[in-house]
A and B are shown apart, each in its own frame.
Chain A
Amino acid sequence: MGATRTPSNITQGSKAKGGIGESTLRPDGTLKVTGEFAYSSDMWHEDMLWGFTLRSPHAHAEIKSIDTSQALAQAGVYAVLTYDDLPTEVKNYGLEIQDTPVLAHGRVRHHGEPVALVAADHPETARRAAAKIKVEYVPLPVVHDEATAIAEDAPLLHPGRTDHHAGHVPHPNIVHRQPIHRGDVAAARARADVIVSGEYEVGMQDQAFLGPESGLAVPGEDGGVDLYIATQWLHSDLRQIAPVLGLPPEKVRMTLSGVGGAFGGREDLSMQIHACLLALRTGKPVKIVYNRFESFFGHVHRHPAKLWYEHGATRDGKLTHMKCRIVLDGGAYASASPAVVGNASSLSVGPYVVDNVEIEAIALYTNNPPCGAMRGFGAVQACFAYEAQMDKLAAGLGMDPVEFRQLNAMSQGTVMPTGQVVDSPAPVAELLRRVKAMPLPPQKQWETAGQSADVRALPGGLSNTTHGEGVVRGVGYAVGIKNVGFSEGFDDYSTARVRLEVVGGEPVAVVHTAMAEVGQGGVTVHAQIARTELGVTQVTIHPADTQVGSAGSTSASRQTYVTGGAVKHTCEAVREKVLELGRARFGSYHPAWATAELLLEGGKVVTDGGEVLADLADVLEGEAIDLELEWRHRPTEPFDLRTGQGNGHVQYSFAAHRAVVEVDTELGLVKVVELACAQDVGKALNPLSVVGQIQGGTTQGLGLAVMEEIVVSPEGKVRNPSFTDYLIPTILDTPTIPVDVLELADEHAPYGLRGIGEAPTLSSTPAVVAAIRAATGLALNRVPVRPEHLTGQQYSGG
């Protein structure tokens, strides 16, 4: 099609009001802050039943028998389903490996695994009926770490694996293994003047989205089902749901309902199939809403990790080599573990030039809670370790930690350990320079004119634990690298349907995609793109559903890039149709129709010189232009299973942080005073949303640094499934977050943009921990950092 504008001149700024580059406001913003937004848990249907899930109290057990008779006998109960009630031969689902049972069959592999379903006319009735289901369990030995997973007598979590990783893994309890080799580590090591090594650990973080898993399944007259659901990827859900139900995909009609946050935790299925099974069995609408407790068992978490690193450097501060081994705990089912392994290994070196590497990353099958996608996806764990290593090296060389990083920072043209050349801006040194150049917050901000201290500015806050006693300030830096989009050869396309017509004399564009709006602001950005490309003011965002092609996942920082790219692409095609029509109708009246570069602006066809050729209304003459097109970014390649070589990633994204903390060194309490961030975003399509994403990601990283962890006992039991004991930062824990946005266009991406959602989550955590180390002088090789780590009183168990 006749492209009329190139990314370079678009990024100069658009003339369309409400177009890209403007901070247009979110259509859902006011509703959400006033409590009026309808979330998936708010849905209601006449005659609906409530579904409830009976879950395993054991991390690993054989199921000898299930007796549902008493539950079925209870008044108000319409159905009780177990594995034996599944209607087809497809009884498992999974994102990449179909290893997750819809309902447990003979064995449960983690605490909280779904065993049976109840539908009743009241949620309390369903809950009570579920309590009457008698399940006879025989507990089995629990696999809870690498040693127990690969022990000689280790129980196999998934005996007889036939998945595409089964053939190359060293043990059947290893989901996937990805080594990467480049250069000559032995020779480089011999040249090193300083060698540092460390063992690091990252705890199990939860997405902690506020809207629990919920949805409504309504049986259709055609034998199909309508599912209203909060998810991250409608079509991925559909692909997994339909075969279990024994329905063709077109009979499972899915509509996105209000999503209360996701962060990766809705990429896997939760209650989708369960609600559909109950609805189809009872012939009635079925709603399932998890409560907060159940939600902690209803979605995957961030992989906890153990990481071993060795780096060397020459006296003048140049990195010689890096060796690392990353062990990720995938829990009972594969979920996104293989892709997390790919990220952890290929990004393990960080945003640095290291020519000689030996890397290995694996994910384990264990009886711990399943782990999968979460913001940062494998790159978070690695970043915590390599940034700790950078500080150790700088200390060993007597260099400034920022200068040392800048000396080794990658840039455009750097070759990654995978052999991939970084072929767009990679301003790593510049981002570090920018965060370092920001003014530091004043010292002792708790001191007031009067005698008393403002405890809100101190560690402990209103808990009144210090008035300045024992408080030491620390400053730390970190920088990270995240891939954007799905990698390793995945066909990562998006679809957009755009309709342009004149309604009441005014041109209106309708943008229809299956993109899950989970809070990222895609609905805002799609309207901006349509305004820019089609020169219209009125844009309607059609509800997301499966009546249009896939938009891929709202994850991997990809939606503005890929579905935004699809909207742009389809708008361009619509525009070309308009111009074709215009040429046919009016071409003979003005030579510019044939010769000039034409744009749509202000509801008119104009030349690039600004001359108006026709009104859109006159060109369209009552016709609507309606196109649905797919769009793809550059293809990627799988990583070689032995060498790790391959152009595996689409785009890289970078952010740097400087953390300033006050630590009460006697009590081990931390107040993060400021977390300054600098990030390259390529092009800020909506600057306000960009800053919001950066502040949100930064805060989630802070949470991992100092408080967020799902605690799992050695028996595989989740010990803190509540917001009482799984702590996330409150506004008093959230520091000032000054943000410096850099816009260096990536010529391969729509408008030159760079996916932004995840990068700030990476460097925030190690920056905070570096600052705590600076304040305390402690090694701190594990996150989250707990008060005990700072004061030395460990648990009596060790």
Chain B
Amino acid sequence: MDFLRPASWEEALAAKAEHPTAVPIAGGTDVMVEINFDHRRPDALLDLNRIGELREWEVGEETVRLGACVPYTRIIESLRAELPGLALAAHTVGSPQIRNRGSVGGNLGAASPAGDSHPALLAAGAEVEAVSVRGTRMIPVEEFYTGVKRNCLEPDELIRAVHIKKADGPQQFSKVGTRNAMVIAVCAFGIALHPGTRTVRTGIGSAAPTPIRATAAEEFLNSALAEAGLWDSGQIIPPAVARQFAELVSGAANPIDDVRGSAAYRRHALGVMARRTLGWAWEEYRGNERSARCA
């Protein structure tokens, strides 16, 4: 197995163009497990650790440009205000050691439906900055995932950064595992309120071949909130609306029975998480509105 160690981003792109089957490795929290379990034996590894810019982030007007190798620990410590949903998701990743090494770029590269950051990215709204020697393209995250552990990157492309919409409202993330820490998701759910556009976005993890948005649930909730004037009134969401939203989230999933959980349980748990996280996010929105009015 070749071990390629480019010193710069340009060298990395050249190496990837020359060795399209090379597997990029940063923290190694996913790739090394695959190798240790003999699930894959790539011809070459492309080590991105010498490229410092990949561990940097910029907070812009509307988005955070998050370098592909920024470890989860940095997100938890430094980006909680801008990316609250992703910070909550980052908290649930593995152990402290894994959070020190693992990154959103790695989660996207692996494209496992169980990756913890996907529901938060889907809910917040994000674009993947995919780069090759041929140029740069921005891929909306919902179009990025193409199948179980597959994404739409071309063989010569590398993920340089993820551009994530800064939170303009409350965000929540919730994940079910069969242990209280260091666990792979049985299923996960992310929700983001966008008061600016008066929309709600969602993300479902580990309950379909790819991470997905619950678009029917989003559309239902958007109209229900608009019709009742709840964005303005800041009143509580009627329980029937929350229930319907939860059912539509459940219905959006396409889960399977596996050793981690049954398909029926995943649907059920997604509904419970959808109802609860909507409640928490909406309560926070109402609180913000009230304090804004008082100010």
Tell which of B174, B261, B262, B263 touches A465, judged by Cβ atoms closer than 8 Å: B174
Tell which of A720, A731, A796 touches B259, judged by Cβ atoms closer than 8 Å: A720
* A420 proximal to B (CB < 8 A): no
* B172 proximal to A (CB < 8 A): yes
* B55 proximal to A (CB < 8 A): no
Q: Are A463 and B175 in contact (CB under 8 A)?
A: yes
Tell which of B260, B268, B273 touches A793, judged by Cβ atoms closer than 8 Å: B268
Q: Are B88 and A464 in contact (CB under 8 A)?
A: yes
Q: Are A465 and B268 in contact (CB under 8 A)?
A: no
The residue in chain B whose Cβ has the minimal distance to the Cβ of A456 is B180
* B5 proximal to A (CB < 8 A): no
Known: A463-B183, A667-B176, A732-B181. A797 touches B259 (CB 8 A): no
Q: Mark A719-759, 1 if CB is under 8 A from B, else 0.
A: 11010110101111100000000000000000000000000
Q: Are A707 and B268 in contact (CB under 8 A)?
A: no
Measured as residues with beta carbon below 8 angstroms from the partner, the interface class of chain B is 35 or more
Tell which of A127, A667, A794, A795 touches B272, judged by Cβ atoms closer than 8 Å: A667
Stretch at the interface among A280-288, A352-360, A784-792: A784-792
Tally of A-B residue pairs with Cβ under 8 A? 113
* A44 proximal to B (CB < 8 A): no
CB contact list, A655-677 vs B, under 8 A: 666-669, 671
Q: Are B181 and A722 in contact (CB under 8 A)?
A: no
* B269 proximal to A (CB < 8 A): yes
CB contact list, A5-33 vs B, under 8 A: none
* A461 proximal to B (CB < 8 A): yes
Q: State A791–B187 Cα separation when bound (angstroms).
A: 15
Residues from chain A with Cβ under 8 Å of B273 in the complex: 465, 667
Known: A793-B264, A794-B262. A730 touches B180 (CB 8 A): yes
Residues from chain A with Cβ under 8 Å of B280 in the complex: 467
The residue in chain A whose Cβ has the minimal distance to the Cβ of B277 is A464
Q: Are A722 and B37 in contact (CB under 8 A)?
A: yes
B38, B259, B280: residue with the most chain A Cβ atoms closer than 10 Å: B259
Q: State A285–B230 Cα separation when bound (angstroms).
A: 75
The residue in chain B whose Cβ has the minimal distance to the Cβ of A463 is B175
Q: Are A787 and B180 in contact (CB under 8 A)?
A: no
Measured as residues with beta carbon below 8 angstroms from the partner, the interface class of chain A is 35 or more
Q: State A719–B33 Cα separation when bound (angstroms).
A: 17
CB distance from B273 to the nearest CB of A (A): 7
Q: State A126–B91 Cα separation when bound (angstroms).
A: 40
Known: A465-B276, A466-B276, A791-B268. A459 touches B259 (CB 8 A): no
Q: Mark B173-211, 1 if CB is under 8 A from A, else 0.
A: 111111111111010000000000000000000000000
Q: Are B179 and A787 in contact (CB under 8 A)?
A: no
Tell which of A459, A667, A722, A793 touches B262, judged by Cβ atoms closer than 8 Å: A793
Q: State A794–B266 Cα separation when bound (angstroms).
A: 11
* B117 proximal to A (CB < 8 A): no
Q: Mark B86-100, 1 if CB is under 8 A from A, else 0.
A: 001001100100000
7 nearest A-B residue pairs (beta carbon): A461-B180, A793-B264, A732-B181, A793-B265, A463-B175, A795-B262, A730-B181
Residues of B within 8 A of A (CB): 33, 36-38, 88, 91-92, 95, 172-184, 186, 257, 259-265, 267-269, 272-273, 276, 280
Residues of A within 8 A of B (CB): 127, 291-293, 459-467, 469-470, 666-669, 671, 706-707, 711, 719-720, 722, 724-725, 727, 729-733, 786-788, 791, 793-797
| Additional A-B contact list (15), CB under 8 Å, known A466-B276, A470-B272, A794-B264 | A462-B91, A462-B180, A462-B181, A463-B183, A464-B91, A464-B173, A465-B272, A467-B276, A467-B280, A725-B184, A725-B260, A727-B179, A788-B265, A795-B264, A797-B257
